[in-house]
Structure 1
Amino acid sequence: MDHTRQTAYSDPGRYAGLLDAVPTDIAGLTDVVRNLLIHYRGGEVEFTPDRLEEVNHRWVDEILACDQQRNAVPLTTPREPVDRVAGCCRDFTLLAVAMLRHQGIPARSRIGFASYFTPGFHHDHVIVEYFDRGRWNQVDPQIGPAEHWGFDVHDIPAGRFRSAAEVWLAFRAGEIDGDLYGVAPDLPIRGGWFIRDYVFLQLAHLRGDELLLWDGFGAMADDLSMDLGPTDELAALLVAADAGDRSADTKLADLYRIDPDLHPGRLIEVRSPTGTPPYRIDLGTRRKLPGLSD
């Protein structure tokens, strides 16, 4: 897959010209991302329900439209926290990926778990990977380097972030406690089923479908009652592809194309964290539809 090309999700559309002025260095670029977005659970702003709905912007052109309707200034012009678009780690990453691709740099989003937010717990997280100097570099665009994380947020060292596929294989091998992997220590959204669902999200993002973290499709489920062998095989292929196995990458591409359980269809089930009732979205028309499919 050509990771220099925009996807339907990362394409800035009519706002592409705004990206021309974004800095070309990774530190400057992620500064711009944090200038545009604010985490909806970060505590800096108490959002009204309509503002919270901004976290459901799934396309970069929607994020930029929201920003420009509120600010109507270049992306590098400082915004007050209250004027930034509410989002989550996936949005920080997708916007950074869009900016990098706009500059012709191979970039992709990576789904997994980070160990650096809460000691002893591994939060679900999405980071940027961009290709430079012969390797994929991992960057966390949500957090700033001045926050003293103990490592370079523009080049995350091994072990601080693990892909969903790596975590799933470790879980299946009995090497980790699945209950220490999830949304937050004070929330029940965690465990083996959650890790398994993120394996499918990891594959979707890798193949250019940079879905929301609360989207549901195909083989995703909220339990582990099914045959887990296929998930083990999928995770092993993802890990092998990350290690440079081109045959594994080719097999993943083929499976993603032909297996309806592995890729989103036209309709996506959405269970937003904003408290709105579950709904469906038509990915072709971008229309919101009531209720969930059977």
Structure 2
Amino acid sequence: MNKIKKNTKSKYFNIFHGFLAIITGLVLLITLNSCSNEGGNSNSDKSIVQADSISKPPENILNKHSVQTTFTDPGKFAYLYDDLPKSIKKNCDIIKKQLIHPMEAANMPKVFPKDKLPEDGDFPIVSDMLKDLVRRNNEGLTMDRLPKDRLLVACYHHGLLLASILRSQGKSVRLRAGFARYYEKQMNVRFSHIVCEIWNADKERWELIDPDRNFQNVSDDKFEFPAEVWYNYINDNLPNVKYLGSIGQGDNVYIHSLLLDMAFILGNERNYWHTPDFIFKKDFDINNLKKEQIQVLNQIANLMNDPANNFKQLEKLYNENPFIQTHERTIDNYYERNYD
């Protein structure tokens, strides 16, 4: 992994998140008023079923996902985790007192004025997040943190912090990219989204947790993995909904999410703006991809249906195909590309 760079925010970043906040903020009012646990049920056993969710992964894979990465390592701020609860739900509650999503902030104009920019680009790793949380309130991970003292960040950072906390407790956790269906009925849209997948040792299965929305055991009608989206796309069987992501909508969104999900599985918990270069081009057209490239994407989608048992094959594909590898860039030029 190359050295992680910090960067400054730009007007392009503000434009995109302002647009997203307006749309999803309206929906948030609807969904929060109608159901505070729209994404899942903490008492339900229903969760997304992939092949590896119903069979125990190899021990080396579980061990891999229980170890901190460069991105989740709390560093010298590990002491902040000492007295945290073991309950996943309670830790999600704590996270929501430390972080606030831009779409939530959009509904709090007195606390977060319009010129307040999202801070995703300021915190590439968890230790940076913890450092600034302590700077803003020296009580650390406190439930009494005021909204103005929270980090203004989106789903990726919520997932990163939950993974960091749970790994410090010995749990196996992996970030997952996909598409949230929380607002599909209201808007006919599936948004690109990042959640956590946690190994439940008692039930011997993976379970999805959304720390951003604070949803437990997210059900399969609320989240869609990109491998399934790609399979449906290739077979001309996509549902009549829009797939929307930070990189735009359409073909490149499916690929962006698929490769991000693969990176997470392999332990490369890169920020979503470190996009493989071939889908970053303004003139991207899937019809211009080589047959061999499409075949690689098909292989990835197939292997991602059972990522734990296909780990070595996924790793081999990543190493042997430079076109799908991470291309480091700043968050500024990511949004300049998409919204200039």
Same fold (TM over 0.5): yes
Superposed CA RMSD = 2.4
Assess, with a 3 A threshold, how the Cα gap between structure 1 residues 102 and 50 changes in structure 2: closer, same or farther.
farther
* Larger RCO of the pair (alpha carbons < 8 Å, separation 6+): 2
Q: Does 1:137 align with 2:207?
A: yes
Could you list the per-position Cα deviations for residues 150-184 of structure 1 after superposition, in whole angstroms to 9, with x for gaps in the alignment? xxx21112232111121111111111158611138
1:257 CA drift (Å): 3.5
Matches within 5 A, 1:1-294: 1=61, 2-42=64-104, 43-46=106-109, 47=112, 52=117, 54-56=119-121, 57-119=123-185, 120-132=188-200, 133=202, 134-144=204-214, 153-177=215-239, 180-183=242-245, 189-221=248-280, 222-224=284-286, 225-227=288-290, 228-241=294-307, 246=309, 248-264=310-326, 268-272=328-332
Assess, with a 3 A threshold, how the Cα gap between structure 1 residues 170 and 23 changes in structure 2: closer, same or farther.
same
TM-score (ref. length: structure 2)? 0.70
Native 8 Å contact 1:24 1:103 kept in 2: yes
1:129 CA drift (Å): 0.5
Counting strand residues as a fraction of each chain, which structure ranks higher?
1
Aligned to 2:53: none
TM-score (ref. length: structure 1)? 0.80
Assess, with a 3 A threshold, how the Cα gap between structure 1 residues 17 and 257 changes in structure 2: closer, same or farther.
farther
Native 8 Å contact 2:181 2:191 kept in 1: yes
Native 8 Å contact 2:118 2:153 kept in 1: no
CA distance in 2, matches of 1:15, 1:167: 39
Q: Which runs of 5+ in 1 are unaligned?
A: 145-152, 279-294
Instruction: Name the SS for the 1:58 alignment partner.
Output: coil
Native 8 Å contact 1:52 1:274 kept in 2: no
Q: Which runs of 5+ in 2 are unaligned?
A: 1-60
Instruction: Name the SS for the 1:21 alignment partner.
Output: coil
CA distance in 2, matches of 1:61, 1:68: 11
Instruction: Name the SS for the 2:306 alignment partner.
Output: helix
CA distance in 2, matches of 1:44, 1:207: 36
Give percent identity, aligned residues only.
Answer: 26
Paired positions, count: 260
